[in-house]
C-alpha cells in the first residue's frame, strides 16, 4: 500500500515542477560531473555510427605538429578584431570552448581551466578562447554574453573570439570542446589535443598535457608529447 502512494507523490511533484514557469533545475558540481560521464558514454556510442558526431562536419583539415598554423582573423567579445599575426613571435594557446558543454563546465567549475590560464599568462603566453557556434546553435554567445561569462568564471583570457562560420575550426581540424592547439613562436603547431588526463576534473592524478607543453616551449625545448586525444562535446558545424 505504501509503495503506490509514494509513486503518486513523485508524479505530483514532477507535474508541479513542469507547470511552474519559475522552476529551474540547479546543477551541482557533482551533477555536472555526472552529466560529463553520461556524455562520454553517449559519445562512445555515437562513435560506432559512421563518423558519429562529426558526420556533418565537412572540409576539416588535418594538421600535424610541426605544420604551419593556419592564420585567421576573428571578432572578439571586446569589440576588436584579433588576428593570429598580431601575436607573431609569442606562444599562443587556442582553446575551443562551448558554454553548454558539460566537459567544459567541469573544467571551469573546478577552477582547473582558470589556473592553467593564469599560469600561461605568467609566462607571457597568449590565450585565445574560440567559440565555434552559429546563431542557431546551442553554444552561440553574443558579445555581451561572452563578456558576462568571462566575468562570472574569472577566466584569464587574452581574448574571446567568435568563429560563427566555423572556418577557423575547420582549418585546424577542431572537433571537440574543450580541445587545445598551441602555436609556437615560429607560427608552427606545437601541440594539439586534450588539456590533461583528468577528463572529469575530480581525479587526483593524470598528466597535464597543455601545461607540460608550455613548460617545454618556454624552456626552448621541443614538446615531448605533442598530440593527444581530447574528450568532450562535438563541435556543431
Nearest CA-CA partner of 153 in 229, 77, 211: 77
Per-residue pLDDT of 168-222, as tens digits, reads 999 999 999 999 999 999 999 999 999 998 876 555 567 899 999 999 999 999 9
Whichever domain contains 96, its CATH number is 3.40.30.10
Q: In the chain, how many domains are there?
A: 1
| DSSP 8-state code for residue 119 | H
Report how far residue 187's alpha carbon sits from residue 166's, in angstroms, rounded to the nearest whole number.
21
Q: Taking 80 as the threshold, does the pLDDT of residue 6 lie above it?
A: no
Say if 13 falls within a structural domain.
Answer: no
Say if 181 falls within a structural domain.
Answer: yes
Say if 80 falls within a structural domain.
Answer: yes
Say if 19 falls within a structural domain.
Answer: no
Residue 236: its pLDDT value, please?
Answer: 86
Report how far residue 235's alpha carbon sits from residue 134's, in angstroms, rounded to the nearest whole number.
11
Residue 61: its pLDDT value, please?
Answer: 81
Residue 135: its pLDDT value, please?
Answer: 94
Per-residue pLDDT of 137-162, as tens digits, reads 999 999 999 999 999 999 999 999 99
Say if 213 falls within a structural domain.
Answer: yes
DSSP run (H or E) holding 6:
helix 2-19
How far is the CA of 75 from the CAs of 1, 67, 132, in angstroms?
63, 25, 12
For residue 204 the three cell numbers come to: 587526483
Are 105 and 28 contacting, i.e. CB atoms less than 8 angstroms apart? no
Span 40-62, average pLDDT: 46
Say if 39 falls within a structural domain.
Answer: no
Residue 237: its pLDDT value, please?
Answer: 85
Give the global pTM. 0.77
Residue 4's CB: how many other CB atoms inside 10 A? 8
Say if 43 falls within a structural domain.
Answer: no
Q: Taking 60 as the threshold, does the pLDDT of residue 56 lie above it?
A: no
Report how far residue 89's alpha carbon sits from residue 196's, in angstroms, rounded to the nearest whole number.
26
Task: Note down the domain range covering 77.
Answer: 52-234
Q: For helices 29-47 and 102-110, what crossing angle results, to 10°?
A: 150
Residue 19: its pLDDT value, please?
Answer: 38
Percent pLDDT > 90 in the chain is 67
Amino acid at each position: 500500500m505504501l509503495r503506490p502512494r509514494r509513486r503518486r507523490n513523485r508524479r505530483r511533484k514532477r507535474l508541479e515542477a513542469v507547470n511552474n514557469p519559475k522552476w529551474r533545475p540547479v546543477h551541482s558540481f557533482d551533477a555536472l560531473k555526472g552529466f560529463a560521464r553520461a556524455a562520454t558514454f553517449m559519445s562512445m556510442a555515437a562513435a560506432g555510427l559512421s563518423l558519429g558526431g562529426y558526420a556533418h562536419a565537412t572540409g576539416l583539415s588535418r594538421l600535424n605538429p610541426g605544420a604551419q598554423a593556419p592564420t585567421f582573423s576573428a571578432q572578439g567579445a571586446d569589440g576588436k578584431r584579433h588576428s593570429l599575426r598580431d601575436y607573431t613571435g609569442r606562444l599562443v594557446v587556442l582553446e575551443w570552448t562551448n558554454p553548454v558543454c558539460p566537459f567544459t563546465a567541469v573544467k571551469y567549475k573546478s577552477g582547473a581551466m582558470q589556473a592553467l590560464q593564469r599560469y600561461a599568462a605568467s609566462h607571457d603566453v597568449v590565450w585565445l578562447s574560440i567559440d565555434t557556434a552559429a546563431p542557431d546553435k546551442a553554444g552561440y554567445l553574443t558579445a555581451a554574453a561572452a563578456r558576462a561569462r568571462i566575468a562570472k568564471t574569472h577566466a584569464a583570457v587574452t581574448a574571446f573570439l567568435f568563429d560563427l562560420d566555423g572556418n577557423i575550426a575547420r582549418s585546424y581540424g577542431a572537433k571537440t570542446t574543450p580541445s587545445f592547439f598551441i602555436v609556437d613562436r615560429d607560427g608552427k603547431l606545437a601541440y594539439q589535443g586534450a588539456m590533461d588526463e583528468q577528463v572529469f576534473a575530480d581525479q587526483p592524478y593524470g598528466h597535464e598535457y597543455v601545461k607540460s607543453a608550455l613548460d617545454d616551449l618556454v624552456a626552448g625545448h621541443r614538446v615531448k608529447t605533442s598530440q593527444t586525444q581530447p574528450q568532450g562535446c562535438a563541435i556543431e558545424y
